[in-house]
Amino acid sequence: MSERTDIDWQSARAAIARGVKRLEHPELSDVERQRILRERAQNLARPLATPEANASGDQIMVFVVGEERVALPLAAIRELVTHPVIAPVPGAAEAVAGVMQIRGEIRPVFDLDVMLRTGSGGARNVVALARYRNREIGLRVDSVEDIRALPAGSLSHERPDDPRIQAVTRDFVQILNLDALLDEHWNETGGA
């Protein structure tokens, strides 16, 4: 094996020595270091939600399922799992994608594409863990698009005919009624 000649080892050693020296003898004064730490703490303590969201308290998480954009109230979502390992359940209803293990506990996972009958067959690389009647269940979706506030007047005035849809935003995101959606499929599965 030939030795690499394109590395300037002397410069590399000098750069490492300079880094070690800076770590041992920082150039910042204690006053400057305290100012930087205080500024970082203030930035980290700033709320993530917008004032508009804090006023109404209504926020949604928007998901992509095939060609559809659907949402759930943010308060219903407990956690997102990307690229989940889902074990199939032989003989389960079509809407049941399978089960997955979360911190040692088994959770049923429902396929939102099948539940909504979109027929897209998308990637479904994300599982949103949500609360349903004192249980934690998973909803398999293609991706997460956004978290947004619902300011007054942001919903369309039409009431959807489908009881599984709670409301529709002006940009046609369907806000799902999780209880109605899962009640329909929970009964089919015998309680998953």
| Helix, strand, or coil (residue 64) | strand
Return the amino acid letter for 40: R
Contact 164, 177 (CB under 8 A): yes
Tell me 48's DSSP state: S
Q: What is the pLDDT along the chain (192 residues), one digit of tens a residue?
A: 455 557 778 888 888 888 777 667 666 677 877 877 787 777 777 665 444 444 445 899 999 988 889 999 998 899 999 988 999 999 988 889 999 999 889 999 999 888 888 776 666 789 999 988 888 999 999 989 989 888 776 676 566 678 888 888 888 888 998 888 888 766 655 555
Predicted TM-score of the model (pTM): 0.64
Mean per-residue pLDDT of the chain: 80
Amino acid at 45: A
**Type of residue numbered 190:** G
DSSP-based three-state secondary structure for 96: strand
Pair of tokens at residue 183: 């009640």
